[in-house]
């Protein structure tokens, strides 16, 4: 398949690019500085562009079979809450996703996979109290943008999948996807999320669903 990854230089985006390329897909990596970070990756075409600029997105979407969206703000959330973001719009998720959806409709591309966050929308009530407080006090603008993004995806009329990972790490925690919103561990590696994003590109059973992505809890080894 020809797959476009939007937000390809972030942690989950890079992991998705790697997972898709490893499976033999023709991957286009799209970000503001994609060519600098991913230009030498075998089997990957890096395209520089701004996700809020329709012409940039339309060129990247044209001819694709599926689009994976992994937009976000890389800066520390406390700084963003107090001072705002240095270079990324606070509404980058919803603005960028709207632009992608419009380009997909115009180009006849149907499959859309979007990374959101656990605790948004239908999984909000499943968060522990401590996480609800963090969402309300520290991450309120970002969570509001996630909510707008999810509404755009659900109303898009496309063949969509929403992935909702728990707290992301750079470790090795494996992923446990679940369409019923249940979770195992509260931390999951970006690498594992990238694998699930690649899975979602071809998983017809997930269409029109939100999929919780938690860290898989390994069973303890049996005593010898």
What per-residue confidence (pLDDT) applies to 82?
Answer: 56
Q: Is 63 left (phi over 0), alpha (psi -120 to 50) or beta?
A: left
pLDDT digits (tens, 9 = 90+) for 129-175: 777 776 666 667 788 889 999 999 999 999 999 999 999 999 999 99
CA gap 72, 91 in Å, rounded:
9
Tell me the CA end-to-end span of the chain in Å, nearest whole number. Answer: 46
Residues of the chain with pLDDT under 70: 75-85, 134-139, 218-224
Domains of the chain by residue range: 2-215
CA gap 90, 122 in Å, rounded:
22
CA gap 119, 146 in Å, rounded:
10
Return the sign of the alpha-carbon dihedral for residues 135, 170, 46, 24: negative
Residue 161 near residue 153, CB atoms below 8 Å: no
Partners of 26 in beta bridges: 2
pLDDT digits (tens, 9 = 90+) for 6-24: 999 999 999 999 999 999 9
What per-residue confidence (pLDDT) applies to 76?
Answer: 57
What per-residue confidence (pLDDT) applies to 221?
Answer: 41
Domain at 2-215, CATH class: alpha beta
Which token pair is 217?
């809890």
Nearest to 186 by CA among 119, 135, 122: 119
């Amino acid at each position: 398949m020809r797959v476009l990854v939007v937000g390809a230089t972030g942690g989950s985006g890079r992991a998705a690019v790697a997972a898709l390329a490893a499976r033999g897909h023709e991957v286009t990596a799209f970000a503001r500085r994609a060519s600098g970070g991913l230009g030498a990756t075998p089997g990957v075409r890096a395209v520089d562009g701004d996700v809020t600029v329709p012409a940039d997105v339309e060129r990247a979407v044209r001819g694709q079979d599926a689009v994976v969206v992994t937009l976000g703000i890389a800066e520390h959330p406390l700084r963003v809450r107090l001072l705002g973001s240095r270079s990324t719009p606070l509404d980058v998720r919803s603005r960028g996703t709207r632009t992608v959806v419009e380009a997909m409709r115009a180009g006849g591309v149907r499959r859309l996979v979007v990374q959101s966050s656990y605790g948004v929308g239908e999984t909000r009530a499943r968060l522990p109290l401590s996480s609800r407080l963090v969402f309300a006090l520290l991450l309120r603008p970002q969570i509001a943008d996630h909510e707008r993004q999810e509404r755009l995806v659900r109303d898009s009329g496309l063949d969509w999948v929403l992935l909702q990972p728990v707290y992301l790490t750079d470790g090795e925690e494996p992923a446990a996807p679940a369409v019923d919103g249940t979770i195992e561990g509260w931390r999951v590696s970006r690498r594992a999320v990238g694998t699930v994003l690649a899975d979602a590109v071809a998983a017809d059973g997930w269409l029109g669903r939100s999929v919780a992505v938690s860290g898989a809890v390994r069973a303890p080894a049996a005593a010898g």
